[in-house]
């Protein structure tokens, strides 16, 4: 599963060439900018910018990220429909309905809030997809340690844990396959299936503990963490193009805010609508 939903796609593009730490800062700034927008039209403009970035700046093809895209569309649709149906203004008798679904009243505010939240969620998930698909995890950790001065013990420990996730996923699949070959299967009732799953999980946990113990011994034998400073095999630098990329991201957000405010769509910013 981690390899399907969270995977780096090696390509040549503007996003791929940007320093990972600068890219992370730019994505976080865009996260905040999208989150603060409560108007569905302005949210749609930001979504359009993200889609154009996916196409032209990251050189990603939609068939390469189809699985996380389906996940993001499903999540955003559910949130939009849920908010449209059950937003608090629908239950205020004094407010007029723009249409009804059976006995349920749908107000103008509920429709706007539902669409806005759905588009925001879709935009945020797509931002995550772009970042993960264009950023090598090892390069990101190297950049965080060298450029952002993150303690390397924490950074590389996190990297090791992340690298373990697909290994554990594969190992769990192997445990399931080996038990099927031996004819060890749970009964059809729910309790038996839950107990069977916990037995598999315990087997997986034992294997993970053994693997982590061997890894810890290997790191200790190479004196990992013995000194405060260390050399780097892959040096990372913040270049001029990275600074331009970050400034451009901020300018695009501010210009979009200004244009939408001038038109009259963007009236206020806030986390909760």
pLDDT of residue 185: 76
> Per residue in 200-238, pLDDT tens?
888 888 888 888 888 888 877 877 777 777 777 788 899
For residue 89, pLDDT beyond 60: yes
Question: Which pair of tokens denotes residue 152?
Answer: 């390397």
Percent of the chain with pLDDT over 90: 30
Using CA atoms, how far apart are residues 120 and 41, in angstroms rounded to an integer?
11
26-70 tens-digit pLDDT: 999 999 999 998 888 999 999 999 989 888 888 888 787 887 888
Provide the pLDDT for residue 196.
82
pLDDT of residue 6: 58
60 or 78: which leads in pLDDT? 78
Read off the pLDDT of residues 143-153 as tens digits, 9 standing for 90 and up: 988 898 888 88
- Per-residue pLDDT at 5: 54
Whether pLDDT at 1 is above 60:
no
Q: What distance in Å separates the CA atoms of residue 230 and residue 108, rounded to the nearest whole number?
A: 59
As a dihedral over the C-alpha atoms of residue 260, residue 266, residue 270, residue 273, rounded to 10 degrees, the angle is -130
Q: Do the Cβ atoms of 20 and 237 come closer than 8 Å?
A: no
Nearest partner of 6 among 235, 162, 231, judged by Cα: 162
Give the model confidence (pLDDT) of 175-209 as tens digits.
Answer: 888 888 888 777 778 888 788 888 888 888 888 88
With contact defined as beta carbons under 8 Å apart, do 117 and 32 qualify?
no
Q: Is 224 helix (H, G, I), strand (E, B) or coil?
A: coil
């Amino acid at each position: 599963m981690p390899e399907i939903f969270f995977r780096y796609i090696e390509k040549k593009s503007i996003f791929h060439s940007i320093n990972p730490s600068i890219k992370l800062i730019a994505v976080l700034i865009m996260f905040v900018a999208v989150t603060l927008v409560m108007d569905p039209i302005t949210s749609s403009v930001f979504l359009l910018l993200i889609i154009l970035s996916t196409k032209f700046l990251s050189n990603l093809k939609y068939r390469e990220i189809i699985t996380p895209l389906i996940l993001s569309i499903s999540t955003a649709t559910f949130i939009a429909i849920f908010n449209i149906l059950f937003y608090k203004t629908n239950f205020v008798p004094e407010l007029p309905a723009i249409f009804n679904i059976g006995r349920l009243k749908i107000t103008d505010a509920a429709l706007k809030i539902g669409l806005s939240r759905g588009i925001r969620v879709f935009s945020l998930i797509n931002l995550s997809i772009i970042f993960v698909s264009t950023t090598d995890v090892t390069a990101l950790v190297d950049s965080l340690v060298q450029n952002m001065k993150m303690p390397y013990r924490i950074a590389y420990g996190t990297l090791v844990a992340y690298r373990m996730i697909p290994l554990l996923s594969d190992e769990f699949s192997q445990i399931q396959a080996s038990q099927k070959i031996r004819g060890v299967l749970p009964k059809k009732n729910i309790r038996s299936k839950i107990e069977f799953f916990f037995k598999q999980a315990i087997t997986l946990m034992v294997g993970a503990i053994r693997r982590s113990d061997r890894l810890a011994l290997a790191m200790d034998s190479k004196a990992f963490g013995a000194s405060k400073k260390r050399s780097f095999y892959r040096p990372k630098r913040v270049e001029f193009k990275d600074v331009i990329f970050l400034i451009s991201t901020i300018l695009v957000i501010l210009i979009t805010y200004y244009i939408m405010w001038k038109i009259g769509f963007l009236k206020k910013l806030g986390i909760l609508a």
